[in-house]
Amino acid sequence: MTYTIFGDKGSGAFSAEAVLAEAGAPYEFHSVSLEKNEQKKPEFLAINPSGKIPALRLPEGEVITESSAILLTIADHFPNARLLPPQGGFARAQAFRWLAYMASEIYPMVEIVDYPERFAPRGGQAEALRSKARDRVRERMALIERSIAGPFLLAGGFSICDIYAAMFSRWSVGKEWREEHLKKVTALAAAVSERPKIAPVWARHFGS
């Protein structure tokens, strides 16, 4: 009953792999190189027609796409791992809120920072758009910074929200800016990276 992750190192596939590792689930990582544009090849488009990673094939054969949906699916499959607060409470609603926030408010801006030429002509316009998108990512990460209960995002402790937030802290904002302005987020990411089951996954995707 093995799960299969399709993704690349340092990409959104980190969150899927980290959650599976934390849950103790058996999984395989199938590399899809963004540098080689393999996510647009027919073999991968047959798995995810949107041509985006990560994708997760469940042991039953079905495929789940969109990283936030993948995290929620894994949390549902492994309730004993306590990757989410208990059902029916405000803490669980807050977890859904933060997952939706990061997926909708940060992820699209990261794509613009990484690939501005997809949205504007190459040159000055693309670079201006990249700069604006980076500012928006920083602004949104600053809201997470102000909201962290400590040491994790939710007052009840570790959840899939922390894996997601830690991943986003590695992208777009810049190391120096992050260390100066996102001290709580930096500490949260360190706590995530040091969890015994996640540590090797973090090292493979982001280094030490």
Query: What's the pLDDT tens digit per position in 104-138?
Result: 999 999 999 999 999 999 999 999 999 999 999 99
Query: What's the pLDDT tens digit per position in 58-98?
Result: 999 999 999 999 999 999 999 999 999 999 899 999 999 99
User: What contacts 31, CB < 8 A, 6 or more positions away?
Assistant: 7, 8, 9
**Predicted TM-score of the model (pTM):** 0.96
Instruction: Extract the tokens encoding 171.
Output: 């992208």
Question: What CATH architecture applies to the domain 90-195?
Answer: Up-down Bundle (1.20)
- Rounded to whole angstroms, the Cα distance separating 157 from 83 reads 10
Question: Could you state, in order of their start, the residue ranges of all structural domains in the chain?
Answer: 3-81, 90-195
Q: Would you place residue 3 in the very low, low, confident or very high pLDDT band (cuts 50, 70, 90)?
A: very high
DSSP 8-state code for residue 101: H
Question: What CATH architecture applies to the domain 3-81?
Answer: 3-Layer(aba) Sandwich (3.40)
Identify whether the C-beta of residue 142 lies closer than 8 Å to the C-beta of residue 148.
Answer: no
User: What contacts 186, CB < 8 A, 6 or more positions away?
Assistant: 169, 178, 179
Arithmetic mean of pLDDT, 157-179: 97
Give the per-residue pLDDT at 208.
Answer: 77
Identify whether the C-beta of residue 13 lies closer than 8 Å to the C-beta of residue 7.
Answer: yes
Give the Cα-Cα-Cα angle 123, 10, 165 (nearest 5 degrees).
95
Q: How far is the CA of 179 from the CAs of 34, 63, 130, 136, 145, in angstroms?
A: 27, 37, 21, 17, 12
- Rounded to whole angstroms, the Cα distance separating 11 from 13 reads 5
Give the per-residue pLDDT at 1.
Answer: 86
Q: Would you place residue 177 in the very low, low, confident or very high pLDDT band (cuts 50, 70, 90)?
A: very high
Q: What single-letter amino acid sits at 66?
A: E
- Rounded to whole angstroms, the Cα distance separating 79 from 67 reads 18
Arithmetic mean of pLDDT, 4-20: 98
The residue assigned the tokens 């090849």 is 41
Instruction: Extract the tokens encoding 66.
Output: 């969109």
Give the DSSP H/E element, type plus range, for residue 7. strand 3-7
